[in-house]
Amino acid sequence: MQATLIAAAEEATAHASELPFAPPVFGIGAFVGLIAMLLITYAFRSVGTRH
């Protein structure tokens, strides 16, 4: 019983460290997301002065 639980825990630990995408994809995604937020913020730069 205990050996079965230890084997299951080791298997779960091995699968938990796998990423769904390659690490550069996360970096590119974060960069694109931040640039998108920058452009949205830049689009509203003069809203306060118009009113």
Q: Where are the domains of the chain?
A: 21-51
pTM value?
0.59
Which whole number is the average pLDDT over 8-33? 85
Direct distance between the N- and C-terminal alpha carbons of the chain, in angstroms, rounded to an integer? 72
Residue that the structure tokens 């796998």 belong to = 18
The residue among 46, 42, 24 whose CA lies nearest residue 34 is 42
Which whole number is the average pLDDT over 8-32? 84
Which whole number is the average pLDDT over 42-46? 90
pLDDT at 8: 81
Q: Does residue 11 surpass a pLDDT of 90? A: no
19: confidence class by pLDDT, cuts 50, 70, 90: confident
